[in-house]
Amino acid sequence: MRRVVALAAVLALAGCVGPRPVPPATTAVVPPPAWRTQLGSGAPVTTGWWQAFGDPVLPGLIERALAGNPDLGAAIARVEEARAAERLARANRAPLISVGVPTTEGQTVSPFGTPSTALGVQPLFQASYDLDLFGRLRALNRATRAQALASEGARDTVRLAIAAQVATGYISLRALDQRLAIARETLAARAEALRIARRRAETGYTSNLELRQAEGEYRATEQLVPAAELAVARQENALSLLMGDNPGPIPRGLPLDRFVVPVVPNGLPADLLRRRPDLYQAEQTLVAADRSLDSARAALLPGLSLTGSAGVVLSTALANPIGVFSIGGSILSPLFDGGRLRAQASAATARRDQAAFAYRRAALTAFREVDDNLAGVLRSGQQAAALEAQRQALAGALRNASNRYRAGYSSYIDQLDAQRGLLTAELTLVQARADRLNAFVQLYQALGGGWSPADVAAVTR
């Protein structure tokens, strides 16, 4: 199985270094031009990939979790908040038009000296518009757009994590079910051994030592059953919480040993990593920091605003209405602000650098997680195969020891040792099978949503 070895472009983006000629400062970490092209908001989390395990219940559980998980609901609400902030930033670039209807009241004096009251109404429309000559508002708008996209990446990260957690939790639940079944089967075998030991002791064929040993072994196995039942109940409650439900029973599908192991094709395309939502989130966070830096630098330059107003004056003191209007403009340029604007630009530069290093770390982490999980898939399979061979050998040893004990050729301690060894091997094998399946789940998450037949066909070609 070959490793995923591409996505060099991502690392090249993350490690790109060079000066940027925009004043007032340069930095060692510079946003590459390719950041202007977004990777995509990640692959949609679907339940189709989970059918590869062959269990009919698992896809439905994941669908329920994606529909009712409270953490995902909060992530979706944060996306809506980010989109509202984007609309607000876009609205700041539009002209602002307002209307007012001020009223006045005063005294007038007629030619004959008779005072009278004059009422006036002035409907007035006002408009203002920032020309944004140097792109301060445009850069701020793009920054909020990138922040909204980053929030979508965070939402998809939560969705991907929830799907993986449900799959891992369900596999763990089936492993606990199998451990409980093994404990009950072993308890039944211990009960039969205790019955035989009691009968042999009552007839005087053996001493009470074997009876006490059999009874102690039965009690030791008996306590495994309630412990396994408690673990099953807790795992069911954890899965119910992931699906946004009250604690309750979870439907079951196939037993753990009948799960189908997905086939990992050799040489998966590294472009699969480009679908990782956390990598997309880090990229858009970097884009937002870069645009915020553009806006902070544009704030150092002059700004031009246009204002205008128009209205009609209606008054009882006037024979006819009077129309009024005004048009003006203003140029504002910072002369002395104590270094505030430059300090804001420097802070924006530092935040951009932090986002660049975070993006590079996200890319490196993606490579590491894929490599770790590919190795986990391979090694856990080898471990499960070795444990299966050990279990078969110990099962044969137990049969031989039981036959020899019943025939009187060996002591009870030989059978007891064989029983203990087989129980340990069976429980360890169950955990190894669960670990192997969970390794595939983690590989699915590391690749940003698994792989499809089209991806495999692309590798084949």
Which pLDDT belongs to residue 45?
Answer: 56
For residues 35 and 54, what is the distance between their CA atoms, to the nearest angstrom? Answer: 40
For residues 393 and 297, what is the distance between their CA atoms, to the nearest angstrom? Answer: 73
- Whether the CB-CB separation of 68 and 244 falls below 8 Å is answered with yes
Q: Would you state the structure tokens that stand for residue 141, as one six-digit string?
A: 């708008």
For residues 64 and 240, what is the distance between their CA atoms, to the nearest angstrom? Answer: 10
Helix, strand, coil percentages, rounded to 5, for the chain: 65, 10, 25
Q: Which one, of 118, 121, 120, 122, lies nearest residue 106 by Cα?
A: 118
Identify the DSSP state of 266. Answer: S
Q: Is 113 a member of any domain?
A: no
- Whether the CB-CB separation of 231 and 172 falls below 8 Å is answered with no
Segment among 30-34, 248-252, 449-453 with least mean pLDDT? 30-34
**Percentage of residues of the chain with pLDDT beyond 70:** 79
For residues 430 and 388, what is the distance between their CA atoms, to the nearest angstrom? Answer: 10
Q: Is 198 a member of any domain?
A: yes
Q: Is 1 a member of any domain?
A: no
Q: How confident is the model at residue 315 (pLDDT cuts 50, 70, 90)?
A: low
**Percentage of residues of the chain with pLDDT beyond 90:** 27
For residues 118 and 113, what is the distance between their CA atoms, to the nearest angstrom? Answer: 15
Q: How confident is the model at residue 8 (pLDDT cuts 50, 70, 90)?
A: very low
- Whether the CB-CB separation of 31 and 300 falls below 8 Å is answered with no
Q: What is the DSSP pairing of strand 115-121 with strand 303-315?
A: antiparallel
Which pLDDT belongs to residue 254?
Answer: 92
Q: Is 147 a member of any domain?
A: yes
Segment among 75-79, 129-133, 279-283, 399-403 with least mean pLDDT? 129-133
Contacts of 251 by beta carbon, 8 Å cutoff, 6+ apart: 57, 60, 61
Q: Is 242 a member of any domain?
A: yes
pLDDT digits (tens, 9 = 90+) for 32-59: 444 434 444 444 555 678 888 999 999 9
Q: Which one, of 345, 362, 348, 341, lies nearest residue 289 by Cα?
A: 348
Q: Which amino acid is at 419?
A: Q
> What are the helix (H) ranges across 205-276?
208-222, 224-242
424: how many CB neighbours lie within 10 A of its CB? 13
Which pLDDT belongs to residue 30?
Answer: 45
Segment among 48-57, 279-288, 327-336, 429-438 with least mean pLDDT? 327-336
- Whether the CB-CB separation of 384 and 430 falls below 8 Å is answered with no
Look at residue 325 and tell me whether its pLDDT is greater than 60.
Answer: yes
Q: Which domain holds residue 243?
A: 8-92+134-300+343-460
Q: Is 121 a member of any domain?
A: no
Task: Give me the chain's average pLDDT, please.
Answer: 79
Q: Is 99 a member of any domain?
A: no
Look at residue 24 and tell me whether its pLDDT is greater than 50.
Answer: no
For residues 162 and 428, what is the distance between their CA atoms, to the nearest angstrom? Answer: 27
Structural domain count, the chain: 1
Look at residue 113 and tell me whether its pLDDT is greater than 70.
Answer: no
Q: Which of 104-118, 293-307, 418-432, 441-455 tops mean pLDDT?
A: 418-432
Residue 189 sits in a domain whose CATH number is 1.20.1600.10
**Helix H or strand E encompassing 194:** helix 136-202
Q: What is the mean pLDDT of residues 328-335?
A: 74
Q: Is 326 a member of any domain?
A: no
pLDDT digits (tens, 9 = 90+) for 210-234: 888 888 888 988 999 999 999 999 9
Q: Which one, of 396, 394, 415, 395, lies nearest residue 197 by Cα?
A: 415
